[in-house]
Amino acid sequence: MEVLWQKGAATVGDVAAELGRGKAVAYNTVLTLMRILERKGYVRHTKDGRAFVYQPVVGRVEASQSAVRHLLSRFFENSPELLLLNLMRQERIDSEELDRLRKLAEEE
């Protein structure tokens, strides 16, 4: 998705080339992922000659919100609190970050 968001539209070959910087990425793997993303409604394609050109249908914000909702429901019993507690236990959060989080929570 990141490649499509950056480029606006790209073929499977374009995406594979961009993802493959520094390592090999199989064309068929990218094609499979693009088809899955299309089936789920995240991208759509148009035909340009023999190539399919994929465009994002969903923006970054909407996609990230959907991913967080999925994460919450699948692993954290729909509890943002459980997710935050898990993050605090697993990741090093310094006092400045905690202060910023407190301020953000108070604003909401």
Are 29 and 69 in the same domain?
no
Domain CATH code at residue 33: 1.10.10.10
DSSP characters over 41-66:
TSEEEEEETTEEEEEESS-HHHHHHH
Distance of CA 98 to the CA centre of its chain: 25
Are 74 and 93 in the same domain?
yes
Are 8 and 23 in the same domain?
yes
Query: What are the b/e assignments for 79-97, b being 16+ CB within 10 Å?
Result: eeeebeeeeeeeeeeeeee
Give the model's confidence band at 24: pLDDT under 50 very low, under 70 low, under 90 confident, else very high.
confident
Give the model's confidence band at 38: pLDDT under 50 very low, under 70 low, under 90 confident, else very high.
very high
Helix (H) or strand (E) holding 33: helix 27-39
Are 6 and 51 in the same domain?
yes
Q: What is the pTM of this model?
A: 0.75
What is the pLDDT, as a whole number, of residue 12? 96
Are 10 and 35 in the same domain?
yes
Structural domain span for residue 90 = 60-107
Do 65 and 76 contact (CB within 8 A), yes or no? no
108 pLDDT higher than 80: no
The structural domain count of the chain equals 2
Give the rounded percent of residues in the chain with a pLDDT score beyond 90. Answer: 72
Are 28 and 15 in the same domain?
yes
Please tell me the total number of residues recorded for the chain in this structure: 108
pLDDT tens-digit readout, 52-102 = 999 999 999 999 999 999 999 999 999 999 998 898 888 888 889 889 988
Are 8 and 50 in the same domain?
yes
**Mean of pLDDT values over 28-35:** 96
